[in-house]
Structure 1
């Protein structure tokens, strides 16, 4: 392979590699199939990123070993933008909906407070909810619908043609905008969408054949867009989601696992623990800016002998406080965490650089940013 330029910020590069490999396997596979011109490819992993492009290891049924596939970037800009463009371009070429873009509709059938700052929405879905809801999330559109949508079957290819034209136009715009304007465009496209975890899915009454009901717990605080949206919702309100995503945490099934979550991630943490099957009790670190929010777990039954630690303090100190606590723990094989973005980055880098934890065992996500409304 020819010489390519090494990226100077190795932590930044590894953050992106881990994120894409852990959370965007579908997108990575489509990129490999499209740019590798081989739809038989069934596995793809980023093994390195250079200034000029990404290096994948791919595999297909005809090959006993993994093959190198280098894909050159087509934009000039941020690494994440360049990989996103490769994904969008690949999906457009194969005429596949990008990023699990499946719109869902829900009716709010109840709203209640489960702790001082956590509002529970009881929802009814038009389609069955996943049975394995651990960490599953929907990208809800922060709007209310006036009436139930009418689903119509389009027998013509007009909508497909329009979609194809839109994709081609969007790709052209993405490619020719400056990095700053491109980031602004993407931000505007997603400004009214927030990911909220499906806390639980269940059947009710005549719907015993499928899980059409669920809880969505939303951490509400101040005048954030999500808080204002929840405040408007009442029994009978109709809402929708634009995307949905599952959480990757199979690595927690063995070894000594530590799970770290702030208030915004309490529902995801609870969902993961609902399905806990690791015989080794987990270490659980709960973070709060205000200790009243620990009340979310007052009636929760944690796995037997779970070691529960609590940290209370201002958000911009939580990362360092968590690391200080982690340094007191000897055996740590696996980690899952979800919290404020900068704190998540600190902890992720601690596990990578001090604990030497491989990316496949080091799943720490930034759920929100302190400097932005969320």
Structure 2
């Protein structure tokens, strides 16, 4: 079996890792795609086009070749194949957070805001503002022979090396720990579910997703969002729910920069507070302000727009906060240090408890 573009040593690592840590997944591949009577499967080799398995059955052992339906990294292709097999076998433990999305199309909403449209077999949350998925910033691409590859959600066992990492991190200094974490997650990023919808000719389950991404330069997330092609499969390994129920009563401040505008738009779309909010929209350019459509903003809302960057942005936000009247609650998201400044101000000036003072840092200056 010829390995054309995969580094041999790296491939050996993949084969050893999969055989050691993913026996259940290999067995599912064998039972679904090769022989239903398989009792054990061992990965022998991997190429760009497929894998070679030794499959043990009551009748004996034989080696088999099986073609990949996607292009991409070797381990990702193997695990996606396992994903398909385990779905067919209904081997989905409750509470799994790993899911795959199929990319449908990309829409340009503004100079820097892209809407990524995905479908997924696993039902999506409906009307949950701020619900986010932790996307791996790479993709599997269908081969020419498999443009209609089937998919659904599949749980994969947590990598054993995470256990070792957790042990190591206990002994690291904070700066070293942060550096390690940044390196571990530099190729994954949370993006907010702007909205979800039932697929065509489907039941009431929401399986079509809008993921709106603010792009800036050649950051990893921006490159990923611009590079996806229809049919690509992307993986999310975690999910996060924003807490927004506290905004539906009292005098509320909503504050967001471009990265949080998709979540903000969902909050406004689901507004149930009889009082209109005080709304602060922050952006680097004037054009991005239009992302939050005027039709979403409740009547009589106080709307403040800040177009600035860096220290000027922080100074203008702080100056604006000093002019606001009494507040009972706040929700928002912006740059990490800006968010901290807003939280501290609201805590000291307006006596907001943590449960009503939910302003988060979506990104950190220097990390994007």
**Normalised by the size of structure 2, how large is the TM-score?**
0.68
| In 1, Cα distance between equivalents of 2:258 and 2:247 | 21
Q: Secondary structure at the match of 2:201?
A: helix
Kindly report which structure 2 residues correspond to 1:252-271, keeping only aligned pairs within 5 A, or say none.
252-271=247-266
Q: 2:228 aligns with which of 228, 233, 247?
A: 233
Q: What RMSD, in angstroms, separates the aligned Cα atoms of the two structures?
A: 2.4
Residue matched to 1:71? none
Kindly report which structure 2 residues correspond to 1:312-331, keeping only aligned pairs within 5 A, or say none.
312-331=307-326
Residue matched to 2:53? none
Q: Is residue 218 of structure 1 aligned with residue 213 of structure 2?
A: yes
| In 1, Cα distance between equivalents of 2:362 and 2:154 | 37
Which stretches in structure 1 are left out of the alignment for 5+ residues?
Answer: 1-99
Kindly report which structure 2 residues correspond to 1:78-89, keeping only aligned pairs within 5 A, or say none.
none
How much has 1:295 moved relative to structure 2? Answer: 1.9
| In 2, Cα distance between equivalents of 1:101 and 1:355 | 40
Residue matched to 2:22? none
Q: Is 2:121–2:152's contact at 8 Å kept on the other side of the alignment?
A: no
Q: Is residue 363 of structure 1 aligned with residue 358 of structure 2?
A: yes
Kindly report which structure 2 residues correspond to 1:154-165, keeping only aligned pairs within 5 A, or say none.
none
| In 1, Cα distance between equivalents of 2:280 and 2:346 | 15
Residue matched to 2:283? 288
Residue matched to 2:104? 109
Q: Is residue 170 of structure 1 aligned with residue 165 of structure 2?
A: yes
How much has 1:126 moved relative to structure 2? Answer: 2.1
Residue matched to 1:348? 343
| In 2, Cα distance between equivalents of 1:152 and 1:312 | 41
**Cα deviations by residue, 1:35-71 (Å, 9 ceiling, x for unpaired):** xxxxxxxxxxxxxxxxxxxxxxxxxxxxxxxxxxxxx
| In 1, Cα distance between equivalents of 2:349 and 2:249 | 21
**Cα deviations by residue, 1:86-118 (Å, 9 ceiling, x for unpaired):** xxxxxxxxxxxxxx8721100111111011110
Q: Is 1:319–1:347's contact at 8 Å kept on the other side of the alignment?
A: no
Residue matched to 2:138? 143
Residue matched to 2:87? none
Say if 1:152 and 1:221 are closer, same or farther in 2 by CA, change over 3 A: closer
Q: Is residue 189 of structure 1 aligned with residue 176 of structure 2?
A: no
**Cα deviations by residue, 1:202-231 (Å, 9 ceiling, x for unpaired):** 113112331000100000111111111111
How much has 1:277 moved relative to structure 2? Answer: 0.4
Say if 1:355 and 1:113 are closer, same or farther in 2 by CA, change over 3 A: same
Residue matched to 1:247? 242
**Cα deviations by residue, 1:124-157 (Å, 9 ceiling, x for unpaired):** 0120100133110111110011346877999xxx
Q: Is 1:203–1:213's contact at 8 Å kept on the other side of the alignment?
A: yes
Say if 1:197 and 1:150 are closer, same or farther in 2 by CA, change over 3 A: closer
Q: Secondary structure at the match of 1:144?
A: coil
Give the number of aligned pairs: 268
| In 1, Cα distance between equivalents of 2:215 and 2:222 | 5
Residue matched to 1:127? 122
Q: Is 1:319–1:344's contact at 8 Å kept on the other side of the alignment?
A: no
Q: Is 2:99–2:153's contact at 8 Å kept on the other side of the alignment?
A: no
Kindly report which structure 2 residues correspond to 1:4-19, keeping only aligned pairs within 5 A, or say none.
none
| In 2, Cα distance between equivalents of 1:171 and 1:325 | 42
Residue matched to 1:306? 301
Q: Is 1:315–1:340's contact at 8 Å kept on the other side of the alignment?
A: no
Q: Is 1:113–1:120's contact at 8 Å kept on the other side of the alignment?
A: yes
Say if 1:168 and 1:291 are closer, same or farther in 2 by CA, change over 3 A: closer
Say if 1:332 and 1:195 are closer, same or farther in 2 by CA, change over 3 A: same
| In 2, Cα distance between equivalents of 1:168 and 1:313 | 43
Say if 1:312 and 1:231 are closer, same or farther in 2 by CA, change over 3 A: same
Residue matched to 1:277? 272
**Normalised by the size of structure 1, how large is the TM-score?**
0.67
Say if 1:276 and 1:183 are closer, same or farther in 2 by CA, change over 3 A: same
